[in-house]
Amino acid sequence: MGVAGYRTIDDLDVAGKRVLVRVDFNVPMQNGEVTDATRIERALPTIDALAARGAKVILLSHYGRPNGERNEGMSLRPAAEKLAELRGRPVAFAADCIDGPAADAIAALRDGDLLMLENTRFHAGEEANEPAFARALAANADAYVNDAFSAAHRAHGSTEGVARLLPSAAGKAMERELDYLAAALSAPERPLACVVGGAKVSTKIELLVNLAARADALIVGGGMANTFLFAQGMSVGASLCEPGLAATALEIIRQAQASGCELVLPTDVVVAQAFRAHAPHEVVAADATPADKMILDIGPDSVDRIADVIARAKTLVWNGPLGAFEIPPFDTATIEAARFAARRVKDGMLTAVAGGGDTVAALNHAGVTDEFSYVSTAGGAFLEWMEGKALPGVEALRR
């Protein structure tokens, strides 16, 4: 049985077969070289497992936004070269992902060989999920594996269309992501606590609504907490705030109360007149922000309360920083809360799953990325999953 009702590569007979593997090699590049190979490294377990079982491994990915036109500056050749470097084995490269160039390169493969196809987004049919494009991808393969959770929220030809045409399964990175997301939200060990931070409520309304109905405790920090404070009649001075969403914030508060979810908002905050590193600052009560100052972090009493909530939790889902973590000392709350959660994970008391947006950068800054149970590199897909939405690229893999 595959993870959470999804087929996995263990369900596929791949020996001697042509296996299309959708990876996410949309990685940072500079001057034609990969500068961060994290996503390539995460695909290695699937690639190695399929190659070891005698598959002809054919990699598919998008890169950048070429808008359906060939753009050599957005070629995946550098990614293929980085993959070859990481594996210490050759990786062939095809100048297109369909038709003759792809078919010729695939025909030259031996069992266990690797081939990287060119950027799927060089074709308009990719993002439009045109049936003809999906059929052209499927024509060169016997099976399909999706190992790109970060692209699974998009119904594109290489993520959803082709999965409907071939025996399909989740790769190992996809499987691991689905396992942890199921453990975090679908069937969490309770109490379940969620941290939601970041700048604006407007970008995370659906997320907050979904978590208020699911979680035992919902911790709101970052700039979005200011809107909640404002909605309750508190002055937030010169802080980032969305007054037009005050009614929405109050409705989320009501929903949390109705669901028995403890909503944790700042009781004290760190304020300053200037948004710059080491600006003069002070801690004030959340309802006492001076008119000429802005809230840039939550205060020590609030951090203590968050630590208390995390200490009682068995599962933690984290999305977004608690303050302006990019500049000290307004990174203090994010660092302290994240490190406390990491200690609970190390002690075997907590499963902590994080992802989306600035979350990875914030946890890297706190030095705890490797100490959380799982940190997703999928931005939009992670958020949409947390919002309770079905992801097309995942649904296509259901048994």
Where does the chain hold its CATH 3.40.50.1260 domain(s)?
Answer: 3-175, 188-386
| pLDDT tens for each residue of 185-228 | 888 999 999 999 988 899 899 999 999 999 999 999 999 999 99
| pLDDT tens for each residue of 225-254 | 999 999 999 999 999 999 999 999 999 999
Set 7, 39, 82, 344: catalytic member: 39
Q: pTM (2 decimals)?
A: 0.85
First to last CA, the chain: 9
| pLDDT tens for each residue of 302-338 | 999 999 999 999 999 999 999 999 999 999 999 999 9
- Return the closest-CA partner of residue 352 out of 378, 373, 321: 373
| pLDDT tens for each residue of 155-179 | 999 999 999 999 999 999 999 988 8
Between CA 33 and CA 301 the distance in angstroms is: 46
| pLDDT tens for each residue of 341-361 | 999 999 999 999 999 868 988
Judge whether 39 counts as a catalytic residue. yes
Q: Which CATH class is domain 188-386?
A: alpha beta
In terms of C-beta distances under 8 Å and separation of at least 24 residues, what long-range contacts does 273-280 make, across chains too? Answer: 273/238, 275/324, 275/327, 276/327, 277/327, 277/328, 278/328, 278/329
Is the per-residue pLDDT at 380 higher than 90? no
Q: CB atoms < 10 A from the CB of 307, how many?
A: 17
Name the percent of the chain lying above pLDDT 90: 85
What is the radius of gyration, based on Cα positions, of the chain? 23
Judge whether 380 counts as a catalytic residue. yes
Please count the residues of the chain.
399
Set 200, 305, 312, 339: catalytic member: 200
Between CA 167 and CA 77 the distance in angstroms is: 28
DSSP for 171-183, written as a single string: -HHHHHHHHHHII
The residues, any chain, with a CB within 8 Å of residue 107's CB and separated by 6 or more, are none
Between CA 326 and CA 83 the distance in angstroms is: 32
Is the per-residue pLDDT at 5 higher than 50? yes
Between CA 209 and CA 345 the distance in angstroms is: 27
Q: CB atoms < 10 A from the CB of 367, how many?
A: 12
User: Which residues, in sequence order, are bridge partners of residue 317?
Assistant: 194, 353
Between CA 356 and CA 126 the distance in angstroms is: 24
CATH of region 3-175 = 3.40.50.1260
